[in-house]
Structures are given as C-alpha cells and as structure tokens.
Amino acid sequence: MQQTIHFINGQWLAGEGAAIASVDPTKNDTFWQGNAASAAQVEKAISAARTALPAWSAMSVEARLTIIKKFAELLGEHKTEFAALIAQETGKPLWETATEVGAMIGKIGISEKAYYERTGTVENPMPVGKAFIRHKPHGVVAVFGPYNFPGHLPNGHIVPALIAGNTVVFKPSDLTPAVAQKTVELWQQAGIPDGVLNLVQGEVDTGKALAAHPHIDGLFFTGSSRTGKLLHEQFAGHPGKILALEMGGNNPLVVTDVADTKAAVHDIIQSAFVTSGQRCTCARRLFIPATPAGDALVDALVAATANISVGHYDADPQPFMGAMISVAAAKGMVAAQQSLQQLGAKSLLELKHLDTNTGLVSPGIIDVTDILDSMPDEEHFGPLVKVIRYTSFDEAIAEANNTRFGLSAGLLSDSEADYQHFFSHIRAGIVNWNRPITGASSAAPFGGIGESGNHRASAYYAADYCAYPVASVELEQVTLPGTLSPGLKL
Ligand SMILES: NC(=O)c1ccc[n+]([C@@H]2O[C@H](COP(=O)([O-])OP(=O)(O)OC[C@H]3O[C@@H](n4cnc5c(N)ncnc54)[C@H](O)[C@@H]3O)[C@@H](O)[C@H]2O)c1
Ligand SMILES: O=CCC[C@H](NC(=O)CCC(=O)O)C(=O)O
C-alpha cells in the first residue's frame, strides 16, 4: 500500500507523482518512502488553503493562538522522539536536535510578541475622527524549507504566517520529508482546521508547481541562493505577491588581537563546524593576522579541530559533529576542497570522507591566502573553513566584504575600537563581537544583504512579511467639515 504523506484539506493522501525516499545519512538506511505530490495535488492543496482562508483569518488572533499554543505543548510532549527523528533524517547529533525542537517551541511565544509589537493595531487621534493602522494577512502562502533545520526553519515561517491569519501550503526539503510529516501530524493533533495548513512533499517539480501557481499570494523561502534567485526571477512581474527569501552566505570571521587563544579557538570551531558546517551562518572565511601570534592561533586551531569528535547522532558519548545530510553532500565537500587545492590553496587539515557509504566527514582547514584572486565566491555548505592571512585590518575588512553575499560576520578581538571600526565597515545582516557567528536568536531579526536575502528578514521580523498594513481614517457618521475647501459651495 502506498504511504499517505501529503496533508491536504485535513486528509492524509498518497502521492500521485514519482517515488521519493528518505535515507538516514549516518546509517545508509532508507527509512521512509512515498510518492511525490503531482501538480494536480499541489493545486488541490492550494484550493483547500483558499477555501479555509476566510474562516481562519476571521477568527480572533487569540483563538488562532489557542491552537498554535497547543502545537507548542505537543512539541514539548514529543520532544525526545521528535529530536530523534530529526537526528535520524539529518545526521545531526541528538544534543543538537534537542535544541532544534526547543527553538521550535520558543518560536511560538516570540512570534506572538512580534505579531503584536510589529503588526499590532495603532490608534492615532485626528482633528476629525481617528486614524488607525491595522494589519491583514496576505492570504494563501507557500512555505519552502531547507534540510539543515527541517523543523525549526519552516516553523519560523509557518507559525507567524498562521498567527497573522494566512493559510499555508508547506513544501519541505525533499531530503527531510519524515520530519515534515511528523510536524504536520502534531499540527493535526493540535486541532488545526482542515485546509489551514497543507503539506505537499516532493522534489523540484513539486516545488515548481507550487511556486508557479497563480493562486498563491506569497512565498516564504529558506534555502540556497541558487534556488532563491530562480524564485525571484519567477516572481518578477508579480508585484502583488510577497516573496521572502532567506538564503546562503560566504561569511567572514576576522581575528585581530586576542589574549585567550583557547577562547578564540572555541568561537571559531562553533562558528565553522557546528552542524558539520551546514548552517547558513557558519564561518566560511577566517581572517587571521600574518604575525607570530596569528601563527600560534592557527596551530592551536588545527590541533583542536583535529580532535573534534565526529560520529553517529546516537553515539554515547555524543560527538560534536554528526554526518552531513547525504553521501552526495559529503562528496561535494571533498570535491570543493580538491578544486581549491588545484587552484593553489594549502590544506592545513584535510577534510576527509570518513565512510563513503555515509555523510560522515571530518572537518577541514585550508589556507587560501595565495589564491584570493582566483577563488570563487561560493558557499561551500560543509565543515571546511578557508583561512586568509592578512597584514592590515582594513584590507581584511575589504576582503571580508568582497562577496556577493552578506549574511553573518564576526570579529574576535579584545579591542573595542577594532570592533567599532569593524561594525562601521562590514556589510552583513548579523554582526557579532567575540561570540560565534552561528546560533542567532529568534528574538532578533534574521536576514542578510546581497544574495543572502531580499530585505525581508525572518525570525523576530517574520511578522512583517506575514501581514500587510492597512491605514484608515474613520468617523462614526458622515459629517460635513466645519470649513469647506475654497471654491466649494454646498
Ligand atoms: N538564510 C537562512 O535563513 C538559511 C537558513 C538555512 C539554510 N539556508 C541555506 O539553505 C541552503 C541549504 O538548504 P537546501 O540545500 O535545502 O536548499 P535548496 O535551495 O536546495 O532547497 C530549499 C527548498 O527549495 C526547494 N527547491 C529546490 N529547487 C527548487 C526550484 N527550482 N523551484 C522550487 N523549489 C525548489 C527544495 O525542494 C527545498 O524545499 C544553504 O545554501 C543555506 O545557506 C539559509
Ligand atoms: O542555517 C541557518 C540558520 C542558522 C541559525 N539561525 C537561526 O536559528 C535564526 C533564528 C530563527 O530563525 O529563529 C543560526 O544562526 O545558527
């Protein structure tokens, strides 16, 4: 019997499209299978969301929040099994996936606060009548998620969209369909009305059918810059549709003078290698002074990175890094390293594919100082950090800005003056000082400039793209003004 993996108008349905599967990248085990949604099923999901829209958007926000808070409660009750499923499907260690479920739960309270604060109702007195600023939902929105946080990042679009009164068609990453299915099962258990949240699974064809559909009012996307740009092109000529793009980065982390080498090494490792380097905020380029102190820092970093434990998500003791999402992703990182080496970069610690049947790779460090002119400005989405040795701080900042992206950036320095200079000149949406550049807060806006986003920051500011403002001047009765405009006689 075919698996029922799509949730359309409150019903779980089997797909009519091509066979799809999910593979545990740590154990090379296919543990989930189904068939993708056909274009006709995507159409049905959109139609269900359209039909559900008037009732959902007419409910009070408090009534919507009752269901949404029930979902948070269920996430809490199912935290252990949900974290285990994310670990199985992504390869991330259990300690990390527990924090992902925690972030999903935390998102509900934060999004409620953001809804009222950023899209609430404002009343202003007028000489005659009153002026109001209110907000309305866009309508039917599509949500696209990436594989690296298959629970947390789609949740960061879905929750604020539902609070604001939109209805949703969710298309998760085809690499993490099981987490998406479990998420939607919990929404169903929470009592989400039929058609308010729909799930369509599949690969690129399903995504294209959803993104291209004329009856969606918006699309909230987290994923690669390549896909985001395709969607941006597709949305050209549709100014009435809202498009929020959260994309990749080629993020710089600059070090100047630091007294505590061990602390600096810690922050570099947390920035470059957490989640096996599969976070959009991960440090990709590490700028270290070409000084004896810089040499000592590089040596300490190489030694500590060589000691990072890489292993199965459920190993005991737990590893710092689990597997990458797939064998293909692991091979892609080996190939990226090889092509940098061919350009003349020098590996300080080689990234290795530890078991070629799995996504397990060890972290790598490569010195690219001599190939800056030929190095491509690419996001290598894995545990490989590129070291650039510099002689002048201003040159380091200029090179840090020499990217088409602009998501996160950081400075490790004991000098406040250096930080002020860095902050003034660096171009990125997240700029940290003496803290890792991963681990952004949901209580702050989250987004980047350049090809990292389209100025629709997510997290705390997601409320902004989930509703449009309506300005009104209102008076209870039609009333003749005390003074008429010149030239007017009534
Ligand atoms: N800025 C952020 O908030 C953020 C967060 C996490 C990940 N990311 C980025 O996401 C990337 C990793 O995620 P990924 O590989 O899953 O991204 P991806 O772009 O491959 O996929 C994202 C989603 O788009 C769908 N998709 C792919 N091609 C499509 C097309 N042509 N038309 C319509 N839909 C399509 C996918 O099925 C998936 O649901 C990295 O680049 C990372 O930096 C960004
Ligand atoms: O991979 C990209 C996301 C990385 C993560 N960012 C967030 O969780 C932002 C906060 C939010 O969306 O609520 C990170 O910075 O580690």
Task: Express each pLDDT in 393-407 by its tens digit.
Answer: 999 999 999 999 999
Count CA atoms closer than 13 A to 42's CA, side-chain side: 26
Nearest CA to ligand 1 atom 10: 223
**Residue that the structure tokens 């998501």 belong to:** 407
Q: How far does residue 367's CA lie from ligand 1's centre (Å)? A: 28
Q: Which atom of ligand 1 is nearest to the CA of 379?
A: 41
pLDDT > 70? residue 444: yes
**Residue that the structure tokens 């829209």 belong to:** 53
Nearest CA to ligand 2 atom 14: 439
Distance (Å) of CA 246 to CA 137, 138, 141, 236, 249: 20, 19, 15, 17, 10
Q: How far does residue 26's CA lie from ligand 1's centre (Å)? A: 21
Determine what percent of the chain is predicted with pLDDT higher than 90.
Answer: 99
Q: Which of 111, 144, 148, 152 to mutate to test the pocket of ligand 2 (most atoms within 8 A of CB)?
A: 152
- Asked if 139 and 51 count as a contact pair (C-beta separation under 8 A), the reply is no
Q: What is the pLDDT of residues 67-123, one digit of tens each?
A: 999 999 999 999 999 999 999 999 999 999 999 999 999 999 999 999 999 999 999
The CB of 458 under 6 Å from ligand 2? The reply is yes
pLDDT > 90? residue 244: yes
Q: How far does residue 229's CA lie from ligand 2's centre (Å)? A: 20
Nearest CA to ligand 1 atom 33: 207
The CB of 148 under 6 Å from ligand 2? The reply is yes
- Exposure string over 230-259, b if 16+ CB within 10 A, otherwise e: ebbeebeeeeebbbbbbbbbbbbbbbbebe
The CA distance from 441 to 99, in Å, is 12
Phi then psi dihedrals of residue 17, to 5 deg: -100, -160
The CB of 224 under 6 Å from ligand 1? The reply is yes
The CB of 145 under 6 Å from ligand 1? The reply is yes
pLDDT average, residue stretch 36-62: 98
Ligand nearest to the CA of 42: 1
The CA distance from 369 to 343, in Å, is 11
Q: How far does residue 175's CA lie from ligand 1's centre (Å)? A: 11
153 residue type, one letter:
L
pLDDT > 90? residue 391: yes
The residues near 116 (Cβ < 8 Å, ≥ 6 apart) are none
The CA distance from 15 to 206, in Å, is 11
Q: What is the pLDDT of residues 281-324, one digit of tens each?
A: 999 999 999 999 999 999 999 999 999 999 999 999 999 999 99
CA 337 to chain CA mean position, Å: 25
When the pLDDT of each residue in the chain is averaged and rounded to a whole number, the result is: 98
The CB of 462 under 6 Å from ligand 2? The reply is no
Q: How far does residue 128's CA lie from ligand 2's centre (Å)? A: 46
pLDDT, position 381? 98
Q: How far does residue 138's CA lie from ligand 1's centre (Å)? A: 23
pLDDT, position 375? 98
pLDDT, position 119? 98
pLDDT average, residue stretch 135-150: 98
Residues involved in catalysis: 246, 280
pLDDT > 90? residue 2: no
Instruction: Please state the residue numbers annotated as binding site for NAD(+).
Output: 223-228
pLDDT average, residue stretch 382-389: 99
Phi then psi dihedrals of residue 288, to 5 deg: -130, 135
Q: Which atom of ligand 1 is nearest to the CA of 458?
A: 3
Count CA atoms closer than 13 A to 207's CA, side-chain side: 18
**Residue that the structure tokens 């009592």 belong to:** 191
The CB of 248 under 6 Å from ligand 1? The reply is yes
The CB of 220 under 6 Å from ligand 1? The reply is no
Phi then psi dihedrals of residue 130, to 5 deg: -135, 155
Instruction: Please state the residue numbers annotated as binding site.
Output: 223-228
Q: Categorize the per-residue pLDDT at 1 as very low, low, confident or very high, splitting at 50, 70 and 90.
A: low
The CB of 459 under 6 Å from ligand 2? The reply is yes
412 residue type, one letter:
L
Q: What tokens appear for 249 in the block?
A: 């980065």
Determine what percent of the chain is predicted with pLDDT higher than 70.
Answer: 100
CA 100 to chain CA mean position, Å: 12
ipTM of the complex: 0.97
pLDDT > 70? residue 351: yes
pLDDT > 80? residue 347: yes
pLDDT > 70? residue 449: yes
pLDDT, position 300? 98
Q: What is the pLDDT of residues 258-273, one digit of tens each?
A: 999 999 999 999 999 9
